[in-house]
Amino acid sequence: MEVKLLVVHGRPQHKSLVFPRGSYVFGRGAECHIRPNSEWVSRQHCQLLVTSDAASIRDLGSRNGTLINGERVVGERGLADGDQIQIGPLVFEVRLEHQPKRPSAPASLPEGPDVEPVDETPGYCLDTAPLPPRSAHTVTNESSSAGQAKEAQDPLRPPS
């Protein structure tokens, strides 16, 4: 299964992120996979879990909570196609895509590791520089010619 999160409120609107099987942390911390630039988002806000047959989200004790369809997530909650997830000022629409089963690999070949989320929309700027212990992505506004991403200013926070 793959999970697509389409940005329906926030920047960049109408862009989607694709999450194959794995576990992904959303938050402002450098260790997070997806790092929204907003003080409304905790350092470790929530965790998206994608398995071969289901997807769920778990709030990690965030100050402002994680909402699904307007209801605060307590513990872990399963996701359905069309659900709306709110993380701080961002709202994502969930699109679940079931992948056809792959043929079994020969027993001598180990199964590959899960991969990082993939952005399938051209022009969506993410900071993909590897950071120990895992790579992080920052939602950004623009890129410089050197390939370094420049963080977007949160519209709800005054400039520093």
pLDDT in tens, 4-58: 999 999 888 889 999 999 999 999 999 999 999 899 999 999 999 999 999 999 9
CB 138 within 8 A of CB 31: no
Whole-number average pLDDT of the chain: 75
Handedness of CA 130, 136, 137, 140 (dihedral sign): negative
CB 99 within 8 A of CB 18: no
Q: Does the predicted TM-score (pTM) go above 0.95?
A: no
Closest Cα to residue 127, out of 143, 114, 111? 143
- For residues 154 and 19, what is the distance between their CA atoms, to the nearest angstrom? 24
Check residue 117 and give its pLDDT. Answer: 57
